[in-house]
């Protein structure tokens, strides 16, 4: 079996995401063949002894990917200290082993979010260098002018750094609000809402309808389905 980086081996076991695997290696919680592992080391899980917190890695799990249409008012995490409902609570308990959310969707936003035990898929969809698109339907207060939307398309300064170019399509409006389709290749914290506030047209409703090539396609709010491998394998190949 070819050698792979330790963080990839750990994430593919379904124990942790690759980002968290990086962290525990730095914290000295991983040993390789009886000695403390170093970030960036490679190993062969079929012949090398890898322990996390003194325990063997789980046997490699079958990779699972779930698509959830998250309702408003649900936390995009596995647990919440304030007792609020989390996205993991929608998945039956016998399917939750190693499952974690891929990125985030705000408490006050709704729509498509993925949960998986596949660390590589999580990395590809959350690391900026891979630039996978995310598509949103956004109701804004009022009617932004064409020049305002053009500025948004080119990039808006947030926290001292300009956002990447965005695709923005006007879909509908009435006297009080405007519906846009917004396609981004990045996902800064509350990015759309913050931009909407800056341009003077706050968000009234925000729904994510697709992540890369994975679409809601009529999945009802609060419902989930397990994706077939062919639906997500192209993202990591």
Structural domains of the chain ordered from first start: 4-56 (3.10.290.10), 65-128+214-236 (3.30.70.580), 133-211 (3.30.70.1560)
Query: Is 106 assigned a catalytic role?
Result: yes
How confident is the model at residue 187, as a pLDDT? 85
> Of 22, 44, 106, 150, which one is the catalytic site residue?
106
Task: Spell out the long-range contacts of 141-149 with Cβ–Cβ below 8 A and sequence spacing 24 or more.
Answer: 141/176, 141/177, 141/201, 141/202, 141/203, 141/204, 142/176, 142/177, 142/178, 142/200, 142/201, 143/173, 143/178, 143/201, 144/178, 144/199, 144/200, 144/201, 148/199, 148/201, 149/180
The confidence score (pLDDT) of residue 59 equals 65
Per residue in 86-129, pLDDT (tens digit) is: 999 999 988 887 788 998 899 999 999 999 988 888 888 988 88
Question: How many percent of the chain have pLDDT more than 70?
Answer: 97
pLDDT band at 17 (very low <50, low <70, confident <90, very high): confident
Among 30-34, 61-65, 153-157, 162-166, the least confident range: 61-65
């Amino acid at each position: 079996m070819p050698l792979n980086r330790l963080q990839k081996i750990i994430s593919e076991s379904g124990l942790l995401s690759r980002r968290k695997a990086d962290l525990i290696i730095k914290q000295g919680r991983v040993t390789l063949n009886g000695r403390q592992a170093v970030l960036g080391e490679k190993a062969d899980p079929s012949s090398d002894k890898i322990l996390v917190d003194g325990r063997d890695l789980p046997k490699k799990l079958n990779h699972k990917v779930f698509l959830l249409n998250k309702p408003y008012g649900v936390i995009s995490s596995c647990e919440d200290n304030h007792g609020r409902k989390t996205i993991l609570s929608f998945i039956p308990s016998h399917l939750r082993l190693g499952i974690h959310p891929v990125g985030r969707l705000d408490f006050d936003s709704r729509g498509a979010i993925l949960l998986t035990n596949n660390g590589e898929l999580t990395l590809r969809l959350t690391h900026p260098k891979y630039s996978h698109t995310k598509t949103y339907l956004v109701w804004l207060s009022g009617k932004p002018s064409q020049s305002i939307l053009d500025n948004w398309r080119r990039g808006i300064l947030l926290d001292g750094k300009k956002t990447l170019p965005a695709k923005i399509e006007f879909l509908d409006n009435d006297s009080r609000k405007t519906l846009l389709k917004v396609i981004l290749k990045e996902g800064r914290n509350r990015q759309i809402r913050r931009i909407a506030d800056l341009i003077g047209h706050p968000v009234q409703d925000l729904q994510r309808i697709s992540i890369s090539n994975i679409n809601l396609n009529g999945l009802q709010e609060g419902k989930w389905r397990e994706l077939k491998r062919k639906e997500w394998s192209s993202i990591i190949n």
